[in-house]
């Protein structure tokens, strides 16, 4: 963890987004400062850059990060429970891509139509294999 980072177990996505907006600055120093600040925010939330992009070291299970909702309350998206169940029940029938996809869904509060379709396909596959 970086200097001044205190792990709360929750990723402050709003603050991370504000800092990430500075990644496109025309000033090298501002971009570097924003990158370092983003790293501290991730560490404080108990996350890594790999977690953020869905390529964490643990292929089978994703940690139980909870994100701060826009109103400041901790919340969990409805699909997170489904994803965790699939990760647990899927076992060997899931491909590496499918496990990574499921882990990545835990970073979203809402799903696109395409993501939901893929999730439904994985649900059918695991249901048949169970």
68-72, 85-89, 105-109: which range is least confident on average? 68-72
45 DSSP 8-state letter: T
**Residue 75, φ and ψ in degrees, nearest 5:** -140, 170
Confidence class for position 47, pLDDT limits 50, 70, 90: confident
Please say if the pLDDT value at position 13 is more than 90.
no
- By CB neighbour count within 10 A (0-12 exposed, 13-18 middle, 19+ buried), where does 38 fall? buried
At residue 71, the pLDDT reads: 44
Stated pTM of the model: 0.43
Mean pLDDT of the chain: 77
At residue 50, the pLDDT reads: 81
């Amino acid at each position: 963890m970086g200097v001044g980072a205190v792990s709360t177990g929750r990723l402050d996505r709003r603050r991370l987004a504000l800092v990430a907006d500075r990644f496109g600055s025309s000033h090298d120093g501002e971009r570097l400062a924003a990158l370092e600040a983003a790293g501290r925010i991730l560490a404080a939330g108990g996350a890594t850059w790999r977690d953020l992009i869905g390529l964490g070291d643990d292929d089978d299970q994703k940690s139980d990060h909870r994100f701060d909702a826009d109103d400041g309350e901790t919340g969990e998206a409805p699909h997170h429970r489904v994803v965790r169940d699939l990760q647990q029940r899927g076992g060997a029938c899931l491909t590496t891509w499918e496990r990574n996809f499921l882990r990545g869904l835990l970073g979203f509060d809402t799903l696109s139509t395409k993501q939901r379709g893929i999730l439904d396909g994985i649900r059918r596959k695991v249901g048949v294999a169970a």
